[in-house]
Amino acid sequence: MSSIGKLMKQAQRMQQQMEQVQAQLAARTVEATSGGGAVKVVAKCDGSLASIKIDPQALNPSDAQLLEDMIVTAANQALGQAKEIANAEMGKVTAGLNLPGF
The predicted-structure confidence for 1-48, as pLDDT tens digits, reads as follows: 578 888 888 888 888 888 888 888 889 999 999 999 999 999 999 989
Identify whether 102 is part of a domain.
no
Which run of H or of E encompasses 15? helix 3-27
Compute CA 6 distance to the chain's CA centroid, rounded to the nearest angstrom.
33
In whole angstroms, give the CA distance from residue 97 to residue 91.
9
Nearest 5°: CA angle at 33, between 52 and 86? 80
Does residue 17 fall inside a structural domain?
yes
CB-based burial label for 96 (10 Å; 0-12, 13-18, 19+): exposed
- DSSP letters, 29-41, are EEEEEETTTTEEE
- Domain of 32, CATH number, reads 3.30.1310.10
Boundaries of domain holding 86: 3-93
pLDDT in tens, 52-83: 999 998 888 898 899 999 999 999 999 999 99
In a domain, 100, yes or no: no
Total domains present in the chain: 1
Report if residue 58 sits inside a domain: yes
**pTM (predicted TM-score):** 0.71
Q: Give the chain's largest Cα–Cα span.
A: 71
Q: Is residue 9 part of a domain?
A: yes
